[in-house]
Amino acid sequence: MKTETEKTIPYSELSFATEPTRWTKFWRKSFIFQIFRFFLLNLKIMRIVVGGHS
């Protein structure tokens, strides 16, 4: 009986992450979405800062 175990070869195609989908690339490049995420992140930071100074 022959048992084989598959091993990944370093720096081969299998050892890298998957390629992002078309929608993921679109949202990463979308200026409006980036502005929205920027303000959302700033609001979260401000909530933490204001909460710490109370």
Tens-digit pLDDT string for the chain (54 aa): 566 666 666 666 666 677 889 999 999 999 999 999 999 999 999 999 998 876
Q: Report whether 13 contacts 19 (CB < 8 A).
A: no
Q: How far apart are CA 43 and CA 46, in angstroms?
A: 5
Q: Which two tokens stand for residue 26?
A: 């679109």
What pLDDT shows up at residue 45?
A: 95
What pLDDT shows up at residue 20?
A: 87
DSSP conformation letters of 8-51: PPTTSGGGSPPPPPHHHHHHHH-HHHHHHHHHHHHHHHHHHHHH
What pLDDT shows up at residue 12?
A: 67
